Structure 1
């Protein structure tokens, strides 16, 4: 609500309702960054080979997100 007043006029006010559209969007990207020390293109060819991942989570929406949790059974 906005209100205007002066010494020469009476106080007037006006209000406007504006709908707010919440659009939460959470993006996740998981990529292999290393396989057994041979870079991302290495081969998994033996038990015990170590695979390294990079996980990037991006809030691409217009809402602040809280308590975001990332779970990956392979890590």
Structure 2
């Protein structure tokens, strides 16, 4: 049987996002909100955490690659100073 193959980075982002959502929902419940509102807070936290973690991990991965030299300006008229 073939397994679903997900990259490790994707699994890490999803697992940490679900953990953040569960924590947010739990804290919302402890603060006195109802079950429905706590679930919505948790789902919103999952969505935000996915975006933030993806951004952080992609930037961290891109920083590992060597960069080529970029020109200081694209046109002669773009120079300031």
Same fold (TM over 0.5): no
Q: What is the TM-score of this pair, normalised by structure 2?
A: 0.22
Q: Determine which structure has more spread, i.e. the larger CA radius of gyration.
A: 1
